[in-house]
Amino acid sequence: MTNPAAPTARTARLALVGDRSPEVASHTRVPLLLDALAERDRLVLDAYWIPSEEAGDEDAVRGFDAVWVLPGSPYRSEAGVLAAIRTARVAGIPFLGTCGGFQHALLEYARHVCGLTRVAHAENDPGAEDPLIEPLACSLVGHESVVLIEPGSLAQSVIGSERTVERYFCAYGPSRHLDTLRTHGLRFSGHDEDGNVRVAELPGHPFFLATLFQPELSGDGARPHPVVRAMARAAVEHAAGQPVTGTAGA
């Protein structure tokens, strides 16, 4: 018999940061993933879209159990996206950034942790003197490519392998100041076969993972990618007040 005095478990709340559009494949995939997470993995998330212009509000993502910055750049408000990422990073809220979310996670870290206040994203500021994110030598729009994952990393524990093939839909990536970001604590835990950075994480944070590839586009959405499952599990654990393990489970 259920104890009527027992506290009711709180449903984990997920902030989806980005400018929602039916033209962005990642955005249309999210409802399928949320359904699959609930049905297959019993990871129930109460998701809310937060447009980039609203993400800069002081309390925009506070109170959420995870923040996912989705693709769809250039965002209408770069400042709003960076503010949401910073809140998740500083407040210890589980964070996932994919494609544009990955790019802006590096930009936020460079500006606010490394003191590289003048670095820019070339898509947002084509004339920038110090672009951290620049056009890729070879566009990855619509491509699949091998990603090599560092052993012992959060990414490796989540994906369960040191080699994976992932799907991209992007034309920009990090180009400079990477050693400075490493020195200040950011870990680059995934690279392509030419050594280009494809995954970043933040040791010491409950769950902070960013990928240039788009795990949300894996398969048909019926079986969420391990990275998406890991973010969902981190959110549920955060809501329950449990320590975040960083692993996706079975």
Average pLDDT, the chain: 91
Mean pLDDT calculated for residue range 181-207: 96
Q: Which residues 6+ apart lie within 8 Å of 175 measured at CB?
A: 131, 132, 133, 134
Whether pTM exceeds 0.85: yes
Count CB-CB contacts under 10 A for residue 90.
11
Angle at 68 between CA 62 and CA 69, to 5 degrees: 105
Mean pLDDT calculated for residue range 56-71: 95
pLDDT for position 250 = 32
Nearest to 31 by CA among 240, 233, 221: 221
Mean pLDDT calculated for residue range 218-240: 95
Chain-centre distance of CA 57, in angstroms? 20
Mean pLDDT calculated for residue range 209-222: 94
Ranking 49-53, 89-93, 136-140 by mean pLDDT, the lowest is 136-140
Summarize pLDDT for 93-143 with one digit per residue, the tens.
999 999 999 999 999 999 999 999 999 999 989 888 999 999 876 677 777
Q: In order of start, what are the domains of the chain with their CATH numbers?
A: 12-239 (3.40.50.880)
Helix axes 25-41, 226-239, angle to 10 degrees: 60
Share of the chain above pLDDT 90, in %: 78
**Strand residues in the chain grouped as ranges (E):** 12-17, 45-50, 66-69, 95-98, 120-121, 131-135, 144-149, 163-167, 172-174, 187-191, 197-201, 208-211
